[in-house]
Amino acid sequence: MNLLIDLLPNTVDINGVKYEINSDFRTSILFEIMMQDTSLSDEDKIIQALQLYYPRVPEDIDTAIDKMLWLYRCGKDETSLKGTGSNKTNQIYSYEYDEDYIYSAFLDQYGVDLQDIEFLHWWKFKAMFKSLKEDNEIVKIMGYRAMDLSKIKDKSQRDFYKKAKEIYKIPTMLNKDEKQKISDIEETLMGSGDLASVLKQDK
């Protein structure tokens, strides 16, 4: 799929049948937040994700999940996403924790009020998010979080970025196993893995 020449999808083909799929940006943001919610069981995550995306859930659940992830990945496959996804060991943004920064950035740069807009396709939202300018606070914060301190030779600079990383660190109360599970889920979302299998691990 090419954002410049292809029509943005609001339906998916499952075994020759067209199914409506919720393509508004709010749906995929909720999905991403839900996948990181350790209070939900793995089975609940699958059920709620399907209900979130499909007004009418297809009978072929496996294909429905594949199409759902295809929409979430903006029509990209695993190969095309390599090098462009988030560092799974270093989360640099959170739709839940950074909501005010992201909202303000869209309003400032694009004049888009994410509260008032009735519909914004997820793929458009992602393209706009990736293209936010460096003077937006959320972009600065993501830069701090992504910074590799080991590559900074100057002590004063390293101390500055270390402090910034601590100030803007995304809070988490996850244990080691939960962090690994979230990493596995994020890798699956950005690639072509089997979400259902990942969620069913260690059950």
- Please write the tens of the pLDDT for every residue from 115-159: 999 999 999 999 999 999 999 999 999 999 999 999 999 999 999
Rounded CA gap, 106 and 169, in Å?
22
Give the total number of structural domains in the chain: 1
Domain-located, residue 24: yes
Domain-located, residue 41: yes
Domain-located, residue 25: yes
Domain-located, residue 20: yes
Domain-located, residue 66: yes
Domain-located, residue 73: yes
Tokens standing for 146?
A: 């992504």
Query: What's the whole-model pTM score?
Result: 0.81
Question: What domain range is 23 assigned to?
Answer: 11-82+176-199
Contacts for 19 with CB less than 8 Å, ≥ 6 apart: 11, 12, 13, 54, 56, 58, 64, 67
Give the DSSP per-residue string, 163-203.
Answer: HHHHHTPPP----HHHHHHHHHHHHHHHSS--HHHHHTTT-
Domain-located, residue 123: no
Closest residue by Cα to residue 30 from 125, 101, 95: 95
pLDDT of residue 185: 64
Any idea which of 24-28, 87-91, 165-169 has the lowest mean pLDDT? 87-91
Asked if pLDDT for residue 87 goes beyond 50, the answer is no
| pLDDT tier at 86, thresholds 50, 70, 90 | very low
Asked if pLDDT for residue 74 goes beyond 60, the answer is yes
Alpha helices, H only, 37-90: 42-53, 61-72, 78-81
Tokens standing for 17?
A: 């049948």
Domain-located, residue 98: no
DSSP category for residue 95: T
Asked if pLDDT for residue 17 goes beyond 90, the answer is yes
